[in-house]
């Protein structure tokens, strides 16, 4: 199944550098506390993205990674920045500014940055790696830290700061996601191995296969490094997922693993209370689908979700009220989501927004009363409001990529005959490229993601993130949401046409062929996503049953579309 993809953005290097310097200067103007610490972390995250982009620009797919004139100074700066974060985190947010950025030679005019998944989606705080690294027994110049790009760039520098070791090197895994390979040029390998006694490999994950960590372990063992001299530092301690091969499992089993230490709910609640200037009374974890108990008393009515990808959420109570805190991302990711949230609040579609603190968006809590839009007009007004949201600088999947995904997922779920019929319906999609511009889609219009307050106003939950998820969709024409919402809410084609008139001005209304195209792609994407989630949740029978039921519904509708009269 084709579901996942890396969201990327291309930036002007000099402008990005200028923004980093502005952020560094702003730090000295802030008062001490979690907000300033979060700004320091955000600067580190964005500088790490730049270092990743510069390293990838110099990466040679044939020969692998090697020393570069620009990346080494950036890694030195990140390690110095890591020491500042370490001191802030362990000394009550005391402040020491990071050093000025190095002057770099012959930087590329543009570089491509990836979204660090853990920072953007999974509430993976850099401080979690500080806590884990503090427990490692080895310190000093004999320790070498290796970061797996992308997110390992900034995480490894924090670990190096804690261990008082040299600035880390980073590597870019290649080949199939379930069987990664890592290559280092000989000069970089010699520099890594010279005088080293212990090696720490840093990345988020492991994901479904754990193959990126295993690839680094295989490289080191191939150069004679004993397994007891290697430590893996992943984002969690669950080990590789269902796609891990036997060799990967053997490498993991024979390697010391020191996972990141998750920041406790109580500490995050203290941050939120500090933001609000109020006294904390209590905190309740609503992550991993626990929020469903607030909507449905009977678990048999719970909607299908993948708890592994459900964003971290907290219900925080203070002396004056209750607040909902949801992880939206560190650095620029969180800032963009705050701007989007304020715009949607102003349009009347989400509850009051109080701010963002270290990646968590804080809103007024409204006791949810599950209620889908009562008619297409309510849905249309919401989708029309999304047209005014600034789209991020991400490249969503092209028409060709969406078509390839739809045909591949259809073939795997319904067979080659169905895929062949769908292919004939979707051929000649070149004209669709000129229809309408991509926007920041909602991407999650399922019926359980709408609720009303006591006055009857409808609100949209989960409205901030899905144009930048860790999947291949990304920003798309608003037709993606229009079609997806009709599928999810059970509206017929007549309602879809009415929505088209409500959402889009006459001069922007696309041809009906685009609706057919997006309907097929949406259904095929959902079939793939639900099938992969069900496979990953093989051990959780209740969650798997819910997701398999959703997959069957999407698959049936896709089959009807494929075999409808041509």
In tens, the pLDDT along 45-101 reads 999 999 999 999 999 988 889 877 778 999 999 999 999 999 999 999 988 889 999
Cα(256)–Cα(430) distance, rounded to whole angstroms? 52
Is residue 268 over pLDDT 70? yes
Hey, which of 334-348, 458-472, 511-525 has the most confident mean pLDDT?
Answer: 334-348
The interaxial angle of helices 376-386 and 493-503, nearest 10 deg, is 40
Higher pLDDT, 470 or 222: 222
Cα(92)–Cα(33) distance, rounded to whole angstroms? 8
Higher pLDDT, 265 or 430: 265
pLDDT for the residue numbered 135:
95
Cα(248)–Cα(238) distance, rounded to whole angstroms? 14
Q: Please spell the DSSP secondary structure of 98-128, one letter per residue.
A: PPPPPP-SS--SEEEEE--HHHHTS---HHH
Is residue 435 over pLDDT 90? no
Classify strands 169-171 and 198-202 as parallel, antiparallel or unpaired: unpaired
| Closest-CA residue to 99 (of 83, 110, 122) | 83
Q: Which H helix or E strand runs over 242? A: none
- 222-258 burial, b for 16+ CB within 10 Å, e for fewer? eeebeeebbbbbbbbeeebbebbeeebeebbeebebb
Cα(471)–Cα(457) distance, rounded to whole angstroms? 32
Under DSSP, is residue 166 helix (H, G, I), strand (E, B) or coil?
coil
Q: Which H helix or E strand runs over 294? A: helix 292-295
pLDDT for the residue numbered 9:
85
Share of the chain above pLDDT 90, in %: 69
Is residue 208 over pLDDT 90? no
pLDDT band per the 50, 70, 90 thresholds, residue 566: low
- Could you report the per-residue pLDDT of 386-421, keeping only the tens digit for each? 988 877 777 788 888 999 999 999 999 999 999 999
Any idea which of 54-68, 166-180, 257-271, 384-398 has the lowest mean pLDDT? 384-398
pLDDT for the residue numbered 494:
81
Share of the chain above pLDDT 70, in %: 97
Distances (CA, A) of 377 to 50, 205, 344, 496, 499: 44, 42, 17, 11, 7
Domain definitions of the chain by residue range: 8-257, 264-290+304-365, 371-566
Q: Is the pTM of this model over 0.75?
A: yes
Distances (CA, A) of 67 to 44, 64, 151, 481: 21, 10, 19, 45
Cα(190)–Cα(215) distance, rounded to whole angstroms? 18
In angstroms, how far apart are the furthest CA atoms of the chain? Answer: 71
Cα(361)–Cα(560) distance, rounded to whole angstroms? 41
| Closest-CA residue to 200 (of 287, 135, 275) | 135
- 283-314 burial, b for 16+ CB within 10 Å, e for fewer? beebbbbebbeeeeeeeeebbbbbebebbbbb
pLDDT for the residue numbered 358:
94
pLDDT for the residue numbered 303:
95
pLDDT for the residue numbered 75:
95
Q: What's 299's DSSP letter?
A: G
pLDDT for the residue numbered 430:
59
Cα(41)–Cα(334) distance, rounded to whole angstroms? 12
Q: Please spell the DSSP secondary structure of 430-496, one letter per residue.
A: GGGGGS---B-------GGGEEE-TT--EEESS-SSTTSSSSS--SB-THHHHHHHHHHHT--HHHH
pLDDT band per the 50, 70, 90 thresholds, residue 434: low
CA-CA-CA-CA dihedral for 291, 294, 297, 302, to nearest 10 = -30
Rg (CA), the chain: 24
pLDDT band per the 50, 70, 90 thresholds, residue 432: low
Class in CATH terms, 264-290+304-365 = alpha beta
Strand partners, 143: 198
pLDDT for the residue numbered 351:
95
pLDDT for the residue numbered 403:
94
Is residue 297 over pLDDT 90? no
HEC assignment per residue over 68-101: CCCHHHHHHHHHHHHHHHHHHHHCCCCCCCCCCC
pLDDT for the residue numbered 6:
75
Any idea which of 195-199, 274-278, 454-458, 557-561 has the lowest mean pLDDT? 454-458
How large is the average pLDDT for residues 273-302?
92
pLDDT band per the 50, 70, 90 thresholds, residue 536: confident
pLDDT for the residue numbered 504:
80
Domain 371-566, second-level architecture? Alpha-Beta Complex (3.90)
How large is the average pLDDT for residues 321-328?
96
Is residue 550 over pLDDT 70? yes
Q: Where are the alpha helices (DSSP H) in 347-442?
A: 376-386, 399-414, 416-426
How large is the average pLDDT for residues 445-460?
90
């Amino acid at each position: 199944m084709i579901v996942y993809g890396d969201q990327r953005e291309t930036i002007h290097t000099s402008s990005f550098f200028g923004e980093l310097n502005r952020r560094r200067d702003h730090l000295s103007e802030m008062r001490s506390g979690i907000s300033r610490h979060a700004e320091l972390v955000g600067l580190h995250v964005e500088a790490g993205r730049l270092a990743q982009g510069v390293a990838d620009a110099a990466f040679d797919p044939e020969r692998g990674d090697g020393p570069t004139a620009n990346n080494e100074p950036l890694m030195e700066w990140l390690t110095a920045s890591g020491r500042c974060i370490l001191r802030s985190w362990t000394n009550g947010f005391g402040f020491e500014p990071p050093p000025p950025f190095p002057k770099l030679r012959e930087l590329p005019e543009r570089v491509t940055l990836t979204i660090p998944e853990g920072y953007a989606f999974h509430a993976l705080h850099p401080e979690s790696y500080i806590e884990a690294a503090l427990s490692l027994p080895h310190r000093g110049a004999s320790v070498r830290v290796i970061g797996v790009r992308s997110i390992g760039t900034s995480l490894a520098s924090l670990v190096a700061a804690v261990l008082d070791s040299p600035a880390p090197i980073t590597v870019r895994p290649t080949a199939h996601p379930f069987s990664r390979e890592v290559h280092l040029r000989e000069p970089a390998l010699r520099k890594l191995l010279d005088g080293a006694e212990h090696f720490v490999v840093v990345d988020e994950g492991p994901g479904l296969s754990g193959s990126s960590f295993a690839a680094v372990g295989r490289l080191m063992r191939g150069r004679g490094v004993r397994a007891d001299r290697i430590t893996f530092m992943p984002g969690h301690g669950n080990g590789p997922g269902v796609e891990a091969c036997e060799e990967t499992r053997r490498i993991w089993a024979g390697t010391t693993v020191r996972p990141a230490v998750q920041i406790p709910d109580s500490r995050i609640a203290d941050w939120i209370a500090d933001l609000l200037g109020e006294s904390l009374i209590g905190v309740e974890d609503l992550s991993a689908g626990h929020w469903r108990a607030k909507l449905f008393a009977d678990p048999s009515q719970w909607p299908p979700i993948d708890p592994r990808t459900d964003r971290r959420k907290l219900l925080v109570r203070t002396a004056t009220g209750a607040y909902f805190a949801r992880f939206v991302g560190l650095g620029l990711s969180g800032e963009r989501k705050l701007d989007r949230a304020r715009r949607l609040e102003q349009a009347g579609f989400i509850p009051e927004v109080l701010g963002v603190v270290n990646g968590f968006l804080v809103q007024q809590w409204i006791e949810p009363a599950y209620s889908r839009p009562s008619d297409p007009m309510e849905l249309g007004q919401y989708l029309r409001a999304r047209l005014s949201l600034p789209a991020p600088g991400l490249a969503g999947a092209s028409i060709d990529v969406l078509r390839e995904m739809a045909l591949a997922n259809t073939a795997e779920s319904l067979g080659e005959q169905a895929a062949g019929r769908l292919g004939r319906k979707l051929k000649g999609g070149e004209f669709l490229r000129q229809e309408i511009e991509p926007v920041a889609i909602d991407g999650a219009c399922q019926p359980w993601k709408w609720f009303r307050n006591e006055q009857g106003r409808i609100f949209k939950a989960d409205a901030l993130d899905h144009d930048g998820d860790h999947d291949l969709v990304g920003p798309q024409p608003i037709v993606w949401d229009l079609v997806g919402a009709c599928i999810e809410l059970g509206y017929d084609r007549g309602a879809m046409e009415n929505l088209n008139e409500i959402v889009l001005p006459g001069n922007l209304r696309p041809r009906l062929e685009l609706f057919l195209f997006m309907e097929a792609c949406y259904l095929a994407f959902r079939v793939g996503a639900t099938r992969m989630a069900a496979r990953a949740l093989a051990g959780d029978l209740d969650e798997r049953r819910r997701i398999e039921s959703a997959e069957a519904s999407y698959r049936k509708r896709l089959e009807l579309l494929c075999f409808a009269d041509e």
